[in-house]
Chain A
Amino acid sequence: MANITLSSVTKSYGAVEVIPPMDLEIEEGEFVVLVGPSGCGKSTTLRMIAGLETQSGGTMKIGDRDVTTLRPGLRNCAMVFQSYALYPHMSVRDNIGYGMKVRGVAKPEAEAAIANAARILNLTDYLDRKPGALSGGQRQRVAIGRAIVRDPDVFLFDEPLSNLDAKLRVEMRVEIKQLHRRLKTTMVYVTHDQVEAMTMADRVVVLRDGVIEQAADPITLYERPANQFVAGFIGAPSMNMLDGQIEDIDGTLHFCGPAGVQFALPKDRVPALISYVGQPCVMGIRPEHTFDTGGTGPSVEIEVVDIEPLGPHTMLIGLAAGAKFTGQVAAGTRAEPGERRQIHFDLDKLHFFRAGDGRAIR
């Protein structure tokens, strides 16, 4: 077990800098998820920790060891790949035990480690099969087994569940979490799926263009996003954003937006927003904090584009004066595309962002 320290780590391909200087401290035993849209540098960061990608600058430490220039094999990491990366010509047993065989681990000891990993991952009955005769979930379990017997300082996961179907993904998610609880080893996990990030992580690191937008526990990310990007990325369906401005009408602060949105701001938000009077800003409200009945709160009029009955509730996807706006309404609500609806929202759940750089206003 070890902590990982990235200090001003950079990565450039020729003149293109994909990761500007990045600082990140991952605690011992922590489960950190790197999340972001494709091309945000999350996989590159993980591969730099593994040593598969050389870093262009900065220093990397695992525990007390400076591993910046160390080759992958000496970093004592174990990595699980999206594509499983099993040795196709070896049985499951040999796949899991190959690293130990190469390192010269004694045979009884290796057999015990393989048996233990197989027991944890429910692979005991499949030990003599080739990877080609396994299902996707079993293959990924073999890859995880190969990582477990390494007894690493750090586990690295590179989108390990992306090739699995939705149901299996949820199951494997739980298994990996249980594995972390059992082994208590530091884990770094890369995914583009924010649900995976939220459900698994002790701490989520949201990346965009190689820059850490916010690193915090899942609930903080959800409730107090640092900026408009994080607010839009975390949560599904994503947060509704309305451009407008803060105005002082008869001594009370109002938010004036498109599609007839105009309402007095709650008292507790006034101190933060008062300095933005007369300036454009962005209001955000999550779909799950909207409703269509009991119309006391402020509301926005949307033109329905599509309707998604999900069972527990129904999503109305619409446009509010050209801006996409999704409202969560009661199950069984019926609406036709083109119809106009009033969607109300919860005043206590509003988010405000600066119009220019998208920083959250608090």
Chain B
Amino acid sequence: MSVRDLSGNRRWLAFGALCLWFLFTIFPLYWVAITSFKAPPDVVGGPTYLPFVDFQPTIKAWTDLLSGLRGEFYSNFWSSAIVAVSSAMFATLLGAMAAYALVRFPFKVRLLSGVLFFVVAMGGFLLGRDVLGIAPASASIIAFTGALALSVFANRFPLPGKVLGNDDIVFWFVSQRLFPPIVVAFALFLLYTEMGKLGFKMTDTYLGLTLAYVAFSLPIVVWLMRDFISALPLEVEEAAMVDNVPHWRIFFGIVLPMSRPGLIATFVITLAFTWNEFLFALFLTNSEWQTLPVLIAGQNSQRGDEWWAISAAALVAIVPMIIVAGLLGRLMRSGLLSGAVK
């Protein structure tokens, strides 16, 4: 049943209920918006609700923020924007490729070769660092590369034990998001500092933060894109195969355009994550590539709870996402596949 089917009083009742719910959801945004225009006495002296009636609006918080009085605002905004957009785009593209492979090609991973990877990688790292005295970063790079090559090679042989298929691989991807991010954040910080000692500066760099975001976004992208891609008709790709279209062209010229709504939805979700992300940004950046969420969080510690300043900064973080969702939302509509089959 739809609300449109209601008539008379029940229609007005439904309308009223929806209005209430709308007010309930919009109020926090409204509160943030008006608070950013309040002067300090209007904030600390009890609640005030209506501009010009309860209090006299001022743009002091905004001029403070935009003039750089409250930290490197412009620099943080742009590093946030650059890192968030580029990592979301890269993660979506990379994840779509992985998802396509997982939908169309059956993989067989022998559990024993996975165990072999773990043992050789860990053992090799410990051996290199503690016995041979190699620097931790070099030891881990050598051990992991060797272990990967060895396990890929070993997977070609009929090893005993369980054979994992595509569903297991997807679960393994998704499981990366099950443990607390702080675990990864610590490990990444250590890894990046060790790499820094080797001469690759990773902390507080564009590459370092973007790579971390891409890696952490990939599971959700693969998981979402797998559903979108498995809904695509196989015949369309087969028609292209018979037509002698190379596989990479089928992917970029046919599969990606057909899954455009899914790609955009996934991109927006990933962007929301990378734009709002706080923990990694806090650990892995300090000045040059510090992002907006870190700046906002910093607002309340520098001079105490200055809600007017925090509100202005929070609005700056919220508004771009609203604009992006509004613009891309139109492109997310389905029905793009009509005419392909049947």
B249 within 8 Å of A (CB atoms): yes
User: What separation, in Å, do the CA atoms of A130 and B238 have in the docked complex?
Assistant: 20
Closest to A52 in B: B238
B341 to chain A: which residues have CB within 8 Å?
83-86
Whether A99 contacts B243 in the complex (CB less than 8 A), given A83-B233, A84-B342, comes out as yes
Closest to B241 in A: A72
Contact of B342 among A71, A77, A98, A163 (CB under 8 A): A163
A88 within 8 Å of B (CB atoms): yes
User: What separation, in Å, do the CA atoms of A86 and B338 have in the docked complex?
Assistant: 10
B242 within 8 Å of A (CB atoms): yes
Interface residues of A in 51-80 (CB under 8 A from B): 51-52, 71-75, 77-79
> Do A133 and B339 touch (CB < 8 A)?
yes
Interface size of A as a range = 35 or more
> Do A130 and B249 touch (CB < 8 A)?
no
User: What separation, in Å, do the CA atoms of A74 and B243 have in the docked complex?
Assistant: 9
B336 within 8 Å of A (CB atoms): yes
> Do A86 and B236 touch (CB < 8 A)?
yes
Residue among B235, B240, B339 with the highest chain A CB neighbour number at 10 A: B339
A103 within 8 Å of B (CB atoms): yes
Closest to A76 in B: B244
User: What separation, in Å, do the CA atoms of A88 and B258 have in the docked complex?
Assistant: 7
A102 within 8 Å of B (CB atoms): yes
Contact of B235 among A81, A99, A102, A133 (CB under 8 A): A81
User: What separation, in Å, do the CA atoms of A352 and B56 have in the docked complex?
Assistant: 104
Closest to A132 in B: B339
A327 to chain B: which residues have CB within 8 Å?
none
User: What separation, in Å, do the CA atoms of A98 and B254 have in the docked complex?
Assistant: 10
B327 within 8 Å of A (CB atoms): no
User: What separation, in Å, do the CA atoms of A99 and B338 have in the docked complex?
Assistant: 21
Shortest CB-to-CB span from B213 to chain A, Å, is 29
> Do A150 and B243 touch (CB < 8 A)?
yes
A134 within 8 Å of B (CB atoms): yes
A50 within 8 Å of B (CB atoms): yes
Closest to B337 in A: A88
A146 within 8 Å of B (CB atoms): yes
> Do B339 and A88 touch (CB < 8 A)?
yes
Contact of A79 among B239, B249, B257, B339 (CB under 8 A): B239
User: What separation, in Å, do the CA atoms of A86 and B342 have in the docked complex?
Assistant: 10
> Do A89 and B244 touch (CB < 8 A)?
no
Contact of A85 among B245, B249, B340 (CB under 8 A): B340
User: What separation, in Å, do the CA atoms of A115 and B341 have in the docked complex?
Assistant: 24
Whether A102 contacts B242 in the complex (CB less than 8 A), given A83-B341, A84-B342, A85-B235, comes out as no
Whether A98 contacts B243 in the complex (CB less than 8 A), given A81-B235, A83-B235, A89-B257, comes out as yes
A134 to chain B: which residues have CB within 8 Å?
339
B240 to chain A: which residues have CB within 8 Å?
87, 98-99
> Do A102 and B244 touch (CB < 8 A)?
yes
CB-CB contacts of B108-149 with A at 8 A, as 1s and 0s? 000000000000000000000000000000000000000000
> Do B242 and A52 touch (CB < 8 A)?
yes
Shortest CB-to-CB span from B237 to chain A, Å, is 8
Shortest CB-to-CB span from B165 to chain A, Å, is 15
A156 to chain B: which residues have CB within 8 Å?
242
Whether A132 contacts B242 in the complex (CB less than 8 A), given A87-B236, A87-B254, comes out as no
A139 within 8 Å of B (CB atoms): yes
User: What separation, in Å, do the CA atoms of A263 and B232 have in the docked complex?
Assistant: 61
A131 within 8 Å of B (CB atoms): yes
B246 within 8 Å of A (CB atoms): yes
Closest to B244 in A: A73
Residue among A86, A88, A130, A139 with the highest chain B CB neighbour number at 10 A: A88
> Do B238 and A84 touch (CB < 8 A)?
no
User: What separation, in Å, do the CA atoms of A71 and B257 have in the docked complex?
Assistant: 24
Whether A86 contacts B243 in the complex (CB less than 8 A), given A52-B238, A81-B235, comes out as no
Shortest CB-to-CB span from B250 to chain A, Å, is 9
CB-CB contacts of B252-293 with A at 8 A, as 1s and 0s? 011001101000000000000000000000000000000000
Residues of B with Cβ closer than 8 Å to A?
233, 235-236, 238-246, 249, 253-254, 257-258, 260, 335-342
The 5 closest A-B pairs by CB, nearest first: A131-B339, A73-B244, A132-B339, A83-B341, A85-B235
- For the complex with contacts A73-B241, A88-B336, 16 further pairs of A-B residues with Cβ separation under 8 Å are A52-B241, A72-B244, A73-B243, A73-B244, A73-B245, A82-B235, A85-B233, A86-B239, A87-B236, A87-B257, A89-B258, A89-B336, A102-B244, A102-B245, A102-B249, A103-B244
